[in-house]
């Protein structure tokens, strides 16, 4: 039986990697099965605040990816392409002493997880992807247009300031308006705002809204997926299954050892009322294929 969340409270943690301070949350104890958790775009480590306490026997470490939550932003000359997070992620797991570990990611974090697992398949024991696999393929012929958009965005966003809300409650309401439950929205918002003149504002780096300079082609994506030689579980939202069928089909064609399942809920189903169902499915996957 999964433990009550109160029996596995979150602990805060931070690391210094490549000159950047990265923050995170952990559940469980060192010595339990290591599981690294990567959140989605504009979210933070609290994305796993409902799921992680239910994963009995796992030492879950969830990061605030760079420029998110309580982690530092990149320098002015840097970018936020999906592979830019990989050096810091590797720095954290190396600091933890994890030679091999399980990996779970949601949305953008799932895409980053796929890239990491393809580059270092010998280090990832089991891979769990929540509602995403890879970004959409972009033809090589689009490269000049993509580069132009990225350069324009970089200039535009360098001085952009995040929106100011009169109160935390109004910031929470803005996330609710994008489909999150009140509890999930508050859990994410409280880790992603800071006080400022006039109320509160996001801690997230505005440059995360910018276009990537390079988009992966179909050939790139097929190579990435073919390199995933570990058991892989893709969980998809039942409510968005129609839109997810193409993703599931593409993943099934190219990932060697893939299981696909659907769960009730929207895109953030791991933060919704049926989180116990998600936890049970993830734990079954880890145990069924575990050493």
Residues with catalytic annotation?
A: 107
CA distance 237 to 169: 28
Local structure of 97: helix, strand or coil:
coil
CA end-to-end distance (rounded Å), the chain: 20
**Helical (H) or strand (E) element with 218:** helix 218-226
Q: In terms of DSSP bridges, do strands 258-263 and 58-63 run parallel, antiparallel, or are they unpaired? A: unpaired
Contact partners, residue 237, CB within 8 Å, separation at least 6: 131, 244, 262, 263, 265, 266, 267, 269
218-226 and 108-119 helices cross at what angle (nearest 10)? 70
Q: In terms of DSSP bridges, do strands 232-237 and 124-130 run parallel, antiparallel, or are they unpaired? A: parallel
């Amino acid at each position: 039986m999964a433990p009550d969340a109160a029996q596995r409270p979150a602990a805060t943690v931070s690391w210094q990697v490549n000159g950047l301070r990265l923050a995170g949350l952990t559940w469980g104890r060192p010595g339990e099965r290591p599981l690294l958790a990567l959140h989605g775009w504009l979210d933070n480590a609290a994305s796993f605040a409902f799921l992680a306490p239910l994963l009995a026997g796992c030492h879950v470490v969830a990061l605030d990816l760079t420029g998110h939550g309580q982690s530092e932003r990149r320098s002015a000359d840097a970018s936020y392409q999906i592979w830019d997070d990989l050096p810091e992620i590797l720095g954290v797991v190396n600091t933890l002493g994890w030679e091999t570990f399980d990996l779970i990611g949601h949305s953008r974090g799932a895409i980053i997880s796929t890239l990491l697992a393809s580059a270092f398949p010998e280090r990832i024991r089991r891979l769990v992807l929540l509602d995403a696999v890879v970004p959409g393929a972009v033809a090589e012929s689009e490269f000049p247009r993509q580069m132009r958009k990225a350069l324009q965005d970089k200039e535009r966003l360098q001085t952009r300031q995040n929106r100011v809300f009169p109160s935390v409650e109004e910031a929470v309401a803005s996330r609710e308006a994008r489909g999150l439950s009140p509890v999930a929205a508050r859990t994410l918002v409280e880790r992603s705002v800071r006080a400022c003149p006039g109320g509160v504002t996001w801690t997230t780096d505005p440059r995360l809204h910018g276009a990537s300079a390079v988009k992966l082609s179909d050939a790139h994506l097929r190579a990435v997926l073919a390199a995933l030689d570990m058991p892989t579980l893709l969980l998809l939202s039942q409510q968005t299954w129609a839109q997810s069928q193409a993703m599931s089909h593409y993943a099934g064609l190219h990932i060697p050892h893939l299981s696909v399942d659907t769960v009730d809920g929207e895109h953030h189903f791991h933060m919704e009322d049926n989180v116990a169902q998600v936890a049970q499915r993830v734990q079954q996957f880890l145990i069924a294929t575990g050493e």
